Amino acid sequence: MSTLSLPISISFCPNSLSIQFQSQHRRQRVTFPRKVKIICSGTEQPQQPPPRQQYSKKKNVTEGEKGVDPVGFLTKLGISHKAFAQFLRERHKALKDLKDEILKRHVNFRDMSTGYEILGMHRHVEHRVDYLEWAPGARYCALVGDFNGWSPTENCAREGHFGHDDFGYWFIILEDKLREGEKPDELYFQQYNYVDDFDKGDSGVTIEEIFKKANDEYWEPGEDRFVKNRFEVPAKLYEQIFGPNGPQTLEEMEKIMEETPDPETRHKAWKEQHKNDPPSNLPPFDVIDNGKEYDIFNVVSSPEWLEKIRAKKPPLAYWLETRKGRKAWLKKYTPGIPHGSKYRVYFNTPSGPLERVPAWATYVQPDTDGKQAYAIHWEPPPECVFKWKNKHPKVPKSLRIYECHVGISGSEPKISSFNDFTEKVLPHVKEAGYNAIQLIGVIEHKDYFTVGYRVTNFYAVSSRYGTPDDFKRLVDEAHGLGLLVFLEIVHSYSAADEMVGLSLFDGSNDCYFHTGKRGHHKYWGTRMFNYGDPDVLHFLLSNLNWWVVEYQIDGFQFHSLSSMMYTHNGFASFTGDLEEYCNQYVDKDALLYLILANEILHYLHPHIVTIAEDVTVYPGLCEPPSQGGLGFDYYVNLSVPEMWSSFLENVPDHEWSMSKIVSTLMRNTQYANKMLMYAENHNQSISGGRSFAEILFGEIGEHAQCSKESLLRGCSLHKMIRLITFTIGGRAYLNFMGNEFGHPKRVEFPMPSNNFSFQLANRRWDLLANGLHCDLFCFDKDLMKLDETEKILSRGLPLIHHVDDNTMVISYMRGPFLFAFNFHPTNSYERYNVGVEEAGEYQVILNTDETKYGGQALMKDDQYLRRTISKRIDGLRNCLEVSLPSRSAQVYKLSRILRV
């Protein structure tokens, strides 16, 4: 095991940057300096933040504290709030204390995050299976299953050192069973190689010959005699000191010791006498007097001999010759718990006997009849184990994420499998131009209709969709297509079902969760983790590392952080005052967990991507922990889909506010580059809501005139909403499966309210054949291709220079690209003036009104190339007269620069 400690211990440097604080009693609001200029006609330039020089005064920083400032991001953003700055310092100190506590029990932080290597069920090389479980509230622990007739006494934790430790971990050994007629191994520590069939141990060389060769190589001539006879050295020393007729009683010893020199003097004389002898004749020990009255002499190893021994390498090559292969093991033993066996863990608790699904189980089968689930031992033979073929793709500078739910990914009214998804959906994602997929509902959960958010078994892929190897094949094929694979992870709460989940796992109410009201979500009926418990941290951090190591996951989206970061679970009004992020309702332990998770993940896996889903936009989400942040790579702007949904359902087209659209899309401009944007997410299709296509198109009729007008309006808005959401934000964009072609139906999982119908729990891929949905998909493909070829998202943030609520026109530039939107439902503009910085010719490279996208093609061919006019407008040096048909948008690219 590696003992390399992670360099993530952070030293606390108080007041490393002096910040001017206002009065403690004055409430402060979060004010972020704007890097993106939003200039409307007749408006003034936004004021710039105070110069940074006023914060430049620093105190001396020690060598171990360089680059660390617990309130560093406040200084960078020019925010002064005394209470929040003090909270960050206290949180930083608490993080240091937590790390110190962790390192008292673990070798390093890698050891802290790899609990899956020892907990749960694991094959041991000494013909056995080891099982380790954490259940501090239990009094007795055993494994029950079909392999032992569900007996609670046959395979139990034995009393003593290996049965139950002080931290509540239970250890059970399942010995492999000897086949009839076979004898036990000569060596009690005989090892077997279960991975392949190569049997070094069956080469015909006896154990005695192997040990003799090992000793001959390891020991120098004559050295091993001291190992074979451990009394030779003290006997020789005794004879050297007292002669062949030495004292036989303590009285004689005391008398002689009074008359002879001290042992150290005599030993030095003896060494001087034998200094020319060969080393093999000298014992590898020194006799010294350590000055204690009750010690006559002390025998210790000589430094020279120790240095020589430590320089030797153990004869592992010979030791491996004793390890036998899988064929030898299969011939001699049958597995103590065969592959595919069903099992549970049995506890005797103060509340009575309990059977639970193991917390670290990697494959779980929920019972369809509402009975208790069981774990399945997954140990396929080596020839059936999945072998990875493809490497991780490189993380691109911009993310185009395709969000998926495996179960509803098929066209048929059933639960689709991992294999169905791999064969049918992955090629579609590649064709659509996305470079990453994000999977929801993959981790095991009890009820299918909960979409996978009420997780019961955090280390198991859902058996509804297939086996662990099926999921590995999905990930491997995605990597082969150049797609990153992200997982939506739910560590903010857990299912409250005692029959399958972690609730009352060991009979106590506080094993993994808080006790009392704190341990229950106020509205969702789920259990809340106790993030201050080191064993809970061990479980959760290891869980993150498990999905990366075992299944080659490339990143995580942390679901509903507001549920875990606040004791009110995020159900409170937020005004933006910084005091709301550091008051008594903030769970500091949860914040420390998120910091540890990001630090450890990014150290062990430097290319990992972490995304925060937090409706409160906690300050410092995407700042490094060394500067007071939480360390995420991206955060989700949850207000964008809510705004679009509100506009489409509640606001007439001519009353849409362009200013609100821009301000919502560019929310928190300081972190706009870290923003993950989407026009609509799965919640609007799954959580009782309607997709945009259902709102815009409704039930498509039989070619009625009003239906055609409705389709044209819906098609135009569908494209414009996606175009502005995609191009105005940061470096990440997300789309839910099917929304790219305007899926006409919402998602409804089978549940008692719909008589368990699968009618709406699928995707209509047949709609891509032709018609409106084919046109929308064509536009979405070209939109993704625009970023792939022109690197739109990875460029600098846009310069939004024209926002007019009267004309309903928005225009902004991003590098050499000009984006122009006309949201007006009826007004078209033939020569609309928008400002550009660079003089030259601008060519239309994307037009939402083209016929291949379902538009009317109102722009003429000669209007696709425009030349600037030397006229100052929108605060920019040049003017471009563009054609803007109603409900359309165009993307212009600077194709030729004109120098004056």
User: Do 563 and 493 form a contact (C-beta atoms < 8 A)?
Assistant: yes
6 or 114, greater pLDDT:
114
The dihedral through the CA atoms of 443, 445, 450, 453 has a sign that is negative
Distance between the two ends of the chain, CA-based, in angstroms?
68
Q: Which residues of 7-38 are buried (b: 16+ CB within 10 A; e: fewer)?
A: ebebeebeebbebeeeeeeeebebebebebeb
Residues 6+ apart with CB under 8 A from 436: 399, 400, 401, 402, 483, 484, 485, 486, 554, 555
Q: Among 552, 386, 416, which residue's Cα sits nearest to residue 484?
A: 552
Residue 286's pLDDT band (cuts 50, 70, 90): low
CA 144 – CA 375 distance, rounded (Å) = 11
Residue 635's pLDDT band (cuts 50, 70, 90): very high
31 or 485, greater pLDDT:
485
CA 81 – CA 29 distance, rounded (Å) = 9
Residues 6+ apart with CB under 8 A from 677: 637, 640, 665, 725, 726, 728, 729, 730, 732, 733, 734
CA 416 – CA 152 distance, rounded (Å) = 37
CA 866 – CA 841 distance, rounded (Å) = 6
Distances (CA, A) of 749 to 489, 493, 518, 761, 820: 20, 22, 30, 5, 40
CA 515 – CA 141 distance, rounded (Å) = 23
286 or 15, greater pLDDT:
286
User: Do 809 and 829 form a contact (C-beta atoms < 8 A)?
Assistant: yes
pLDDT digit string, tens, across residues 376-419:
999 998 888 899 999 999 999 999 999 999 999 999 989 999 99
**Which residue intervals of 280-371 are DSSP H helices?**
303-310, 316-320, 326-332
Where do the domains of the chain lie? 112-192+320-377
Residues 6+ apart with CB under 8 A from 555: 436, 484, 485, 486, 487, 608, 609, 610, 611, 633
Q: Is 181 helix (H, G, I), strand (E, B) or coil?
A: coil
Query: What is the reported pLDDT for 255?
Result: 74
Residue 243 has pLDDT above 90, yes or no: no
Q: Is 843 helix (H, G, I), strand (E, B) or coil?
A: strand
Amino acid at 471: F
pLDDT digit string, tens, across residues 524-540:
889 999 999 999 999 99
CA 241 – CA 235 distance, rounded (Å) = 10
CA 257 – CA 246 distance, rounded (Å) = 11
Q: Which two tokens stand for residue 834?
A: 């928008």
620 sits in the region (left: phi over 0; alpha: psi -120 to 50; else beta) called left
Amino acid at 434: Y
Amino acid at 884: L
User: Do 414 and 758 form a contact (C-beta atoms < 8 A)?
Assistant: yes
pLDDT digit string, tens, across residues 553-571:
999 999 999 999 999 998 8
pLDDT digit string, tens, across residues 140-175:
999 999 999 999 999 998 765 567 888 889 999 999
The dihedral through the CA atoms of 420, 421, 427, 431 has a sign that is positive
The dihedral through the CA atoms of 704, 709, 710, 712 has a sign that is positive
pLDDT digit string, tens, across residues 188-235:
788 888 877 666 555 667 777 777 877 777 777 666 666 667 677 677
User: Do 484 and 465 form a contact (C-beta atoms < 8 A)?
Assistant: no
Q: Which two tokens stand for residue 564?
A: 């875990």
Amino acid at 761: A
Pairing of strands 399-405, 436-440: parallel
Q: Is 844 helix (H, G, I), strand (E, B) or coil?
A: strand
Residue 780's pLDDT band (cuts 50, 70, 90): very high
CA 489 – CA 467 distance, rounded (Å) = 19
Query: What is the reported pLDDT for 42?
Result: 34
- How many CB atoms are located within 10 Å of the residue 822 CB? 27
What is the percent of the chain where pLDDT is above 90? 58
Q: Is 673 helix (H, G, I), strand (E, B) or coil?
A: helix
| Residue 377 backbone phi and psi in degrees, to 5 | -70, 115
Residue 710's pLDDT band (cuts 50, 70, 90): confident
Least confident stretch, 21-35, 89-103, 826-840? 21-35
pLDDT digit string, tens, across residues 650-701:
999 999 999 999 999 987 777 888 999 999 877 766 766 788 888 888 765 4
CA 116 – CA 545 distance, rounded (Å) = 9
CA 772 – CA 768 distance, rounded (Å) = 9
Q: Which CATH number fits domain 112-192+320-377: 2.60.40.10, 3.40.630.10, 1.10.3720.10, 3.40.50.720?
A: 2.60.40.10
pLDDT digit string, tens, across residues 41-88:
333 334 444 443 333 333 433 334 557 899 999 998 888 999 999 999
- Catalytic residue list: 613
Residue 299's pLDDT band (cuts 50, 70, 90): low
Query: What is the reported pLDDT for 796?
Result: 85
Q: Which residues of 691-724 are buried (b: 16+ CB within 10 A; e: fewer)?
A: bbbbbbbeebeeeeeeeeebbebbbbbbbbbbbb
Pairing of strands 865-867, 840-847: antiparallel
**Which residue intervals of 634-689 are DSSP H helices?**
639-650, 658-665, 683-686
> What mean pLDDT is reported for the chain?
84
Q: Which two tokens stand for residue 740?
A: 């790219």
Query: What is the reported pLDDT for 747?
Result: 85
Query: What is the reported pLDDT for 292?
Result: 54
pLDDT digit string, tens, across residues 426-476:
999 999 999 999 999 999 998 888 888 999 999 999 999 999 999 999 999
279 or 233, greater pLDDT:
233
204 sits in the region (left: phi over 0; alpha: psi -120 to 50; else beta) called left
User: Do 621 and 565 form a contact (C-beta atoms < 8 A)?
Assistant: no
User: Do 280 and 221 form a contact (C-beta atoms < 8 A)?
Assistant: yes
Q: Is 548 helix (H, G, I), strand (E, B) or coil?
A: helix
Query: What is the reported pLDDT for 700?
Result: 57
